[in-house]
Chain A
Amino acid sequence: MHILACIKQTPATSNVQIDPKTGTLKREGMAAAINPFDEYAIEEAVRIKEKVPNTVVSVLTMGPPQAEESLRDAISRGCDQAFHLCDRAFAGADTYATSYALQMGIRKIETVTQKKVDLILCGKQTNDGELDIPNAAYVKKVEEINETMIRVWRMMEDGADLIELPLPALIAVVKEINEPRVPSLRGKMAAKKAVIPRWTAQDIEADKTKIGLGGSPTIVASSFNPPPRIGGVKIGGATAEEKAKNLVAKLLEMKLI
């Protein structure tokens, strides 16, 4: 099986640590600039690899040259090989342009590794746009996986759904899914030695009009975090009829009907 983890690096500044001994900026801290949500995707990919024989885990990111550090970090956490989309032409991409570039990158990975990607894993906030395959977001547990399908628990507001997707599929995971391991010593050595291909838009044969700022139909007027939803009300009742009655009563009480 071929698993691909798609990751993003966080802006290094939010990750900066001061070495308590020297008072200077800590380089090692900077190196681990993987988007925290993506660590869960990487960990889950590596756990599946440990369970399913003959599995390789690739990792892909799109970003500036420094983003290579996050790919090395992913290797130290157990990924086998890494690929880097790196070109000024990709800059300023919205979700549409990003998912197009990733899609072309995935094709290129499949060509060079001669292995179709069966499962794409990403973190909660990396789920960039759509790829043309079955997908599930907010996944909190992988129940079962084999060469042809994956069965996962998806978090819902009022519980969880067990859903089955045929492979290839895309899964976006939440932090409840696992507890990421500390990078291993052998992983760190492999990460240091790894040769990571750096691909331009031309290398992945991307259509120039579909990438970067120019290829992004979205115009960001301003960005904000949506306010958290404040809890709803669950309408109880032993039977469907009773529940309906209670619902109507509630709506009447709120003068909505």
Chain B
Amino acid sequence: MNYFLTEEQQAIQETAREIAQKKIKPVREHYDVSEEYPWPIVEELRKADLFGVYFPTQYGGLGGAGFELCLVVEEISRVCGGTALTIACTALCAFPIILFGTPKQKEKYLPDLASGKRLGAFTITEPEAGSDATATSCKAKKEGDYYVLNGTKNFCSNGNAAEIYTLFASTNPARGPRGLSAFIVEKGTPGFSMGKKEVKMGIRASPTYELNFDNCKVPAENFLGGEGHGLSVAQGTFDISRPGVAAQALGIAQGALDEALNYARMRKQFGQSVLSFQSSQHMAADMATQIEAARSLLYSVTRAMDKDLLAAEALSEKSGKTVYEELKKVSSKRWTKYSAMVKLFCSDVAMKVTTDAVQLCGGIGYMRDFPVEKYMRDAKITQIYEGTNQIQRNEIGYALIKELAKG
């Protein structure tokens, strides 16, 4: 299938694929079992410039946007959905800085994230604030040139591997969701410590941590997006970042199909390949068709989004205003509906396809020393994080009603 990739996008895809095949595939089981952080792979990804594909060139990137990120995440996830988060979580940290950062903040943080020298994380979830993300109890109180953070965040991916965090805390609890604000917090800031590390079903190469803040003083210049604008920062970020989760899901689905087909063709029962049974072929046909539909939706939405995003980035460089402000001028609509659709569709496809992949392989598909069950475990998270698929449906429904009301 010709997806009309530019020469540069082809190079990105090939490079990611080569690293996935040569460097990640041989060790994915090790990281899945041990839950260690895949630092040697991070080093390979750094050297190949893959951390930088979606950053503007003036901050050390290669000048692409969401689509380029998705190509990388898809290819890595095709081999290991957990390892892909080294880059995808860094993107989730970087997008709010790209969108809402001041020129100074962008200069300070983006080059290190683009080179992969420092990894990033994004932390909004709290024990009592999951789907209801604005029910934040983590507080930030202004004291002179600082904000003092107190509270607990949890389920933070890239938890202890990251060095730069975009964090959400309430600067005005009385105002509820309108009191939420965003910050850039660096690892090593006194009062910031790691809590519990979660033991997980899948994406086990990605560490998920609780973060504790005890009178942690963050410089006021690390305030991101303005007092009480945290909700906009989070929503604006998710609009752009959810396709990344979709790409992870798509890669996982494709990888599971690859493995299952290879096995089913070789496996003989009743004197013939199990792939020669029509029921197997129909199952494989449905898997492949869903994957292709998912890819088409993901690619067309991210490309359309990128056109606006890249235009806004260029304007922002001239005006000195934030990319988000310029984005509102470039395009009157937010991308919520489409980015929710992409994340919803691709992750549901991934869950269905990986479950069927296990089925297609029979008993061996269920075994830990065969790669297919890992895809199924890894797929599940894509229906949960960055908003559960119920929440995505809520967003899409809400957008549809809003469109009706506008007439």
Contact = CB atoms under 8 A, between A and B. Distances in A.
B370 to A, nearest CB: 21
Contacts of B11: 185, 188-189
A189 B50 CA distance: 13
A183 B49 CA distance: 9
A146 interface: no
Interface stretch (B12-20, B207-215, B284-292): B12-20
Contacts of A186: 49, 62
B401 interface: no
A184 B14 contact: no
B317 interface: no
A181 interface: yes
B53 A185 contact: yes
Nearest to B17: A182
A126 B386 CA distance: 53
B267 interface: no
A28 interface: yes
A72 to B, nearest CB: 13
B48 interface: yes
B47 interface: yes
A175 B244 CA distance: 37
A28 B49 contact: no
Contacts of A183: 15, 18, 48
Interface string B1-40: 0000000100110110011001100000000000000000
A185 B62 contact: yes
A184 B62 contact: no
Interface string A152-188: 0000000000000000000000000000011111101
Nearest to A32: B18
B44 A182 contact: yes
B47 A184 contact: yes
B15 A182 contact: yes
Contacts of A189: 8, 11
Interface in B40-87: 44, 47-50, 52-53, 62
Chain A residues touching B, range: under 10
Interface string A79-108: 000000000000000000000000000000
Contacts of B53: 185
A185 B12 contact: yes
Nearest to B21: A182
Contact of A185 (B15, B22, B23, B44): B15
A182 B16 CA distance: 9
B47 A185 contact: no
B49 A185 contact: yes
A189 B49 CA distance: 11
The listed residue with most A CB atoms (<10 A of its CB), out of B23, B47, B50, B62, is: B47
The listed residue with most A CB atoms (<10 A of its CB), out of B11, B23, B50, B62, is: B11
Nearest to A192: B7
A181 B14 CA distance: 14
Nearest to B47: A181
Interface in A51-76: none
Contacts of A182: 15, 18-19, 22-23, 44, 47-48
A184 B49 contact: yes
Given A28-B14, A188-B11, A188-B15, A181 B44 contact: yes
A16 B14 CA distance: 17
Contacts of A185: 8, 11-12, 15, 48-50, 52-53, 62
A146 to B, nearest CB: 24
Interface string A182-210: 11111011000000000000000000000
B391 to A, nearest CB: 35
Contacts of B48: 181-185
The listed residue with most A CB atoms (<10 A of its CB), out of B23, B44, B49, B50, is: B49
Contacts of A181: 44, 47-48
The listed residue with most B CB atoms (<10 A of its CB), out of A28, A182, A184, A186, is: A182
Contacts of B23: 182
A182 B14 CA distance: 10
Nearest to A21: B1
B116 to A, nearest CB: 12
A167 to B, nearest CB: 27
10 closest A-B pairs by CB: A185-B49, A184-B48, A182-B18, A184-B49, A188-B11, A182-B19, A186-B49, A181-B47, A182-B48, A185-B15
18 contacts: A182-B18, A182-B19, A182-B22, A182-B44, A182-B48, A183-B15, A183-B18, A184-B47, A185-B8, A185-B11, A185-B12, A185-B49, A185-B50, A185-B52, A185-B62, A186-B62, A188-B11, A189-B11
Given A182-B48, A184-B15, 7 more contacts: A181-B44, A181-B47, A182-B18, A182-B44, A183-B48, A185-B8, A185-B52
